[in-house]
A and B are shown apart, each in its own frame.
Chain A
Amino acid sequence: MQLRLLPFCLGLVGALAAMPPALAQFDVNLVPKYTIWDIKFGEPISQIPPEEVAEIACGTNGGPPSTPLKDFAEFARCPAEPTGLHEVFFTNDDEADYIAKALEAEYRVMQGGTSIYAHPVVFSVLIDAEGIVRGIRIVTDERAADRERRVAMTLSRNLKSRYGRWAQACENLPPTDGQLPVGKIFVHEICTADSPEGDARMRLEATYFRKKGQTSINLETQTINKNYFQSATRLEVVQKPYEPDTRPVR
């Protein structure tokens, strides 16, 4: 451990020690017990322990949740996508997050929510008609604060590294349909890869640009248009013979 982290750790331990008995339930290990990375393809959806996730709902192609579901067994209520898979949205278990909120814990890391690599994201699991898990979808959460949304594209770097053993083929796409760079930066990269075992395929898309009409300045009022840009990372990993959805990030 680096010495400069020592005061933080001592402070954290001290803060935890001084808190009410409810904190006995607090898991100092800040990573949730069950995460999207624990999902196994080719196995029934019942593999996901319901007590280890908070909200379950029909997914909207990586967007916000739609119809709430009592449990994953109700996946068939979600309309099938063109691939025939049903997208079910879920969030990480938030028990520790809410203990931190209740105790007004100083360290925001304790209030992580549904995130990976410190980026707020939307998780979905893709299920076939027989209730077998065939894939996962992770999209940066468009509802995040401006500051977090601005760096959403950088999540792709973490995910590239995570899938480093997969032989990735990446392509940088040029601006189309009136797209403009944000300042001097334009990113539209799509990486695809097959798993080393050859049984799964991934598609990773990173975007950072202004869409048509998203100008930086309002020419009528001469004010800066805040939040007028697209910044997102979208990962989809599916079991073969299914193919990742290529619909654009909304």
Chain B
Amino acid sequence: MRMALLALLVLLPGSAFAGPAEDLKSGARTECRGCDLSNQSFKKANLAGVDLSGANLSGTTFHRANLKGANLSNVLAEGANFNLADLGSADLSGGHFKDAMFYEAQLSGAKLAKADLSATRMQHARLTGADLSGADLDWAVMKEVRLNNANLTDASMERTNLEKASVGRSKFDGTTITSAGFLEVSAPGASFKDATISLTDFYGAELNNANFAGATLSDNRFTRAKLKLEQFADTTFTRNILPDGRVQGTQ
């Protein structure tokens, strides 16, 4: 009997022993909920539509991978590499992505609600129409991202760098923005209703028709920003540097 079992094991195809990572790459399986896939390489892999919800993806590389429509909700993916990955319409909500990289990644239409995106590197990423409501974007580097029509309601943005980003018509309603960089952002029609914004630099930002109703703005710099002072009519506005360089409250 033991010999028969041994023979069976020898005769079984190698794929029968392949780990979940290999099975996902080959397409043999399309879900791996809660799996430990940490420190694996899925470089250039086609993982469109896979369900990896709750998986451990820490330190894993998805460089140039296709994750279109994938379910990565509630994953632990600290320090993961998503550079150049296609995450269009993927679900990353509730995930932990601290220190992860999304350089030039495609995240348009992605669900990132309540995700921990602190200290991520997202330069040049495309996030058009993404849902980032309640997300933690503290210390995230988001230079030159395309973030138009995105929802950042109630997000946390402490020291977030959005230099030269395009955030037109995006919602920052109720968002806490502290010591952040909005230098030369293009934000026409953006909504900052009821947001708390302090010590943030809007130098040269395009803020035409941006809505600041109910917002609390203190110690920010709006030098050379394109906006009208009437846009601050319904705000709590203290110690800010105005677009013409004057400090509020001084002659």
Binary per-residue interface labels of chain B (32-65) against chain A in the complex, 1 for a CB within 8 Å, 0 otherwise: 0000000101011000000000000011010110
Q: How far is the CB of B122 from chain A (nearest CB, A)?
A: 8
Chain A interface bracket (under 10, 10 to 19, 20 to 34, 35 or more): 10 to 19
A38 interface residue (CB < 8 Å to B): no
Contact, CB under 8 Å: B78 / A95? no
Name the one of A54, A95, A102 contacting B121, with C-beta atoms under 8 angstroms: A102
Contact, CB under 8 Å: B59 / A21? yes
CA distance A104 to B63 in the complex (A): 17
Number of interface residues of B (CB under 8 A): 24
- Identity of the chain A residue whose Cβ is nearest the Cβ of B43 in the assembled complex: A51
- Which stretch of B7-15, B95-103, B227-235 is in the interface? B95-103
Note all chain B residues with C-beta closer than 8 A to A98.
63, 83-84, 101, 103-104
A9-54, CB < 8 A from B:
20-22, 24-25, 50-51, 54
Contact, CB under 8 Å: B123 / A22? no
- Identity of the chain B residue whose Cβ is nearest the Cβ of A23 in the assembled complex: B79
A80 interface residue (CB < 8 Å to B): no
Contact, CB under 8 Å: B123 / A101? yes
Q: How far is the CB of B162 from chain A (nearest CB, A)?
A: 15
B130 interface residue (CB < 8 Å to A): no
Sorted from nearest, which 7 A-B pairs have the closest CB atoms? Answer: A21-B79, A102-B103, A102-B121, A98-B83, A20-B99, A102-B101, A22-B79
19 A-B Cβ contacts within 8 A? A20-B99, A20-B119, A21-B59, A21-B78, A22-B59, A22-B79, A22-B121, A24-B59, A24-B79, A51-B41, A51-B44, A94-B84, A98-B83, A98-B103, A99-B81, A102-B121, A102-B123, A103-B121, A104-B123
Q: Interface residues, chain A, CB within 8 Å of chain B? A: 20-22, 24-25, 50-51, 54, 94-95, 98-99, 101-104
